[in-house]
């Protein structure tokens, strides 16, 4: 059986191509994020799988919530997803779309988990260093996890830079035990 990520990939690529060709990456990004939120909403999710509701009724739910943020091309995309029973893939489609968008805009999403909160100046300096390292613009998300004891863990795509005290202690423990 194919994974949700694999199933979502062709839909994300198709949405990206349409958005790029129309020069509407930002609008599509917002529309897909809204559609993904609808598909995972606790109140809406049971309606999406309710066999008593027709495909058109489900799509009307999306259109009513999305409003003018869903133009005809987005509604057509949602119609295709509904036709093939793929509305539940919207969170994965949205995430993959964002990855394609960042790649096309020479941007990289970086998740920083820090032991201590970072002020704006520290975040700016870190962003500059990461921009120099990756040669791309940086979309920085910062979270705080006191369990790291000190330092930070930086994740950019499949790269992980573990500069945390906890990580150093774990590596030291493996060396001593090894």
> What is residue 1's predicted lDDT score, i.e. its pLDDT?
67
Last residue of a domain, one of 87, 102, 117: 102
Same domain, 76 and 125: no
Same domain, 34 and 95: yes
Give residue 152's domain range. Answer: 106-177
pLDDT along the chain (178 residues), means of 10: 88 96 94 95 84 90 90 95 93 95 88 93 93 89 92 88 87 84
> What is residue 74's predicted lDDT score, i.e. its pLDDT?
95
Give one DSSP letter per residue of the chain, joined into a string.
---HHHHHHHHHHHHHHHHHHTT-HHHHHHHHHHHHHHHH-TTTHHHHT-TTS-HHHHHHHHHHHHGGGS-HHHHHHHHHHHHTT-GGGHHHHHHHHHHHHHHHTTEEEEEEEESS---HHHHHHHHHHHHHHHTSEEEEEEEE-GGG-SSEEEEETTEEEE--HHHHHHHHHHHHH-
CATH number of the structural domain spanning residue 152: 3.40.30
Same domain, 74 and 153: no
CATH number of the structural domain spanning residue 54: 1.10.520.20
> What is residue 17's predicted lDDT score, i.e. its pLDDT?
96
Same domain, 77 and 157: no
Q: Domain tally for the chain?
A: 2
């Amino acid at each position: 059986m194919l994974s949700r990520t694999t199933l979502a990939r062709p839909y994300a690529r198709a949405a990206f191509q349409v958005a790029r060709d129309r020069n509407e990456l930002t609008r599509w990004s917002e529309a897909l994020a809204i559609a993904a939120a609808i598909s995972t909403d606790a109140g809406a999710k049971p309606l999406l799988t309710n066999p008593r509701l027709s495909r058109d009724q489900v799509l009307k739910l999306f259109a009513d919530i999305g409003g003018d943020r869903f133009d005809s091309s987005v509604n057509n995309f949602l119609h295709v997803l509904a036709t093939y029973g793929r509305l539940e893939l919207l969170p994965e489609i949205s995430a993959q779309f964002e990855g394609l968008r960042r790649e096309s805009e020479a941007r990289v999403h970086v998740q920083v988990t820090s032991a201590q909160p970072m002020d704006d100046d520290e975040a700016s300096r870190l962003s500059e260093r990461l921009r120099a390292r990756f040669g791309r613009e940086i979309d920085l998300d910062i979270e705080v996890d006191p369990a790291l004891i000190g330092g930070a863990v930086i994740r950019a795509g499949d790269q992980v830079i573990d500069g945390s005290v906890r990580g150093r202690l774990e590596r030291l423990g493996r060396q001593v035990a090894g």
